[in-house]
Amino acid sequence: MTRDLRYRENIKIQKKVIYVGIFLLAVKFTAYFLSNSNAILTDALESIINVMASFIGLYSLNLTLSPKDKNHPYGHGKVEFISGLAEGLMIFIAAILIIYKAVYGFFVPNVLQNLNTGLILIIFSGIVNFIIGEMAERQGIKSDSMTLISSAKHLKSDALTTLGLVLGLILIMITDLVWIDNAVALIFGFIILFSSYKILRRSVAGIMDEADFDALEKLAEAIEKNRIPEWIDIHNFRLVKYGPDPHIDCHLTIPFYRDLKFANEQIEKLNLIVDETMGIDSEMFVHVDPCGFEQCSICEVSECTFRKERFKEKINWNLEIILQDEHHLI
């Protein structure tokens, strides 16, 4: 899938998230005004954050689609991490408000009413939230979009909250214990707080260019599987993501007597392996190093006439090896 096509599909999904979010916001506040339940208000307040975060996400996806320019030579992809950071902060604020309202409710109890109607509306909203969240998560994972993944996790967290609310409301209807309403709101306030932490953690990691070891390990396995004898060594392998766009730097060692045409061909082969593994066109800068005689013992080029030492051992290019910032020797 091309970069523009992937981003346009992400924008299409994010718009659906916004439309559904606005609709469910109205449904949940209707349920709250009918029932006067703090637990339902918890769900409604989180939906406000859902809608606000969805608009921020849509803006970031549109900005990410913008081409590279003089001021942004690596593109605008990192705005997705900023979007995730903003969403995480809003979820955090909502969680604090929910916890406060729940604690307050223990001292000043609400008078509950029309719980049957409120329960039906909340069940409906939970089902819709889960469906749209699942759809957004699949697309987010497919395109490696922090914005869509954040939206999806928030929506599915909202659906989980709704399930807890439904169980709590049913328990209230059975026992007539009104304090359960506040207890349920308090529990899910802390669940939402933890959800905000996970989104904030991932967003900060992206902004700080934290290493994606899962992606790096897959790349190491793919390169090792497809390596050829003329690829004598690979090291200083680095992966940075500008949103979903990967940028890779590495050093590739080839026989010193090979010409530039051969070197360029090897760079293209390596880039193709990376693109197929990542499932996306990547930007890759490869520094080609000429081999030295001290590397003869790890070189598998049997027809080399310049060899000073026989081949002794093949070094497997695992994650630990390719990340090292030095030539490999035995």
Q: Which of 3-7, 201-205, 284-288, 301-305 has the lowest mean pLDDT?
A: 3-7
Record the pTM.
0.63
Kindly tell me if the per-residue pLDDT of 2 is higher than 60.
no
Q: Is 248 exposed, middle or buried (0-12, 13-18, 19+ CB in 10 A)?
A: buried
d(CA 282, CA 267) in angstroms, rounded, equals: 13
Kindly tell me if the per-residue pLDDT of 1 is higher than 60.
no
pLDDT of 37: 79
Kindly tell me if the per-residue pLDDT of 308 is higher than 60.
yes
Which pLDDT band, with edges at 50, 70 and 90, does 4 fall under? low
Strand order in the sheet with 283-290: 233-242, 245-254, 283-290
pLDDT of 225: 94
Tokens of residue 222, six digits? 């793919």
pLDDT digits (tens, 9 = 90+) for 236-279: 999 987 766 788 999 999 999 999 999 999 999 999 999 999 88
pLDDT of 301: 93
Q: Where along the chain do its domains lie?
A: 3-207, 213-323
pLDDT digits (tens, 9 = 90+) for 106-133: 877 666 777 788 888 888 988 888 888 8
Asked if 205 and 85 touch (Cβ cutoff 8 Å), the reply is: no
CATH architecture, range 213-323: 2-Layer Sandwich (3.30)
Tokens of residue 180, six digits? 């359960």
Kindly tell me if the per-residue pLDDT of 33 is higher than 70.
yes
Q: Which of 213, 210, 201, 274 is nearest to 240 (CA)?
A: 210
Scanning the chain, the segments in alpha helix (DSSP H) are 3-35, 38-64, 79-107, 115-143, 146-175, 179-207, 213-226, 260-278, 319-323
CATH fold for the domain made of 3-207: Alpha-lytic protease prodomain-like (1.20.1510)
> Do 3-207 and 213-323 agree at the fold level?
no
**Residues paired with residue 289 on neighbouring β-strands, in sequence order:** 253
Scanning 176-212, the segments in alpha helix (DSSP H) are 179-207
What is the maximal distance between C-alpha atoms in the chain?
91
Compute the average pLDDT of residues 199-224.
85
Asked if 84 and 14 touch (Cβ cutoff 8 Å), the reply is: no
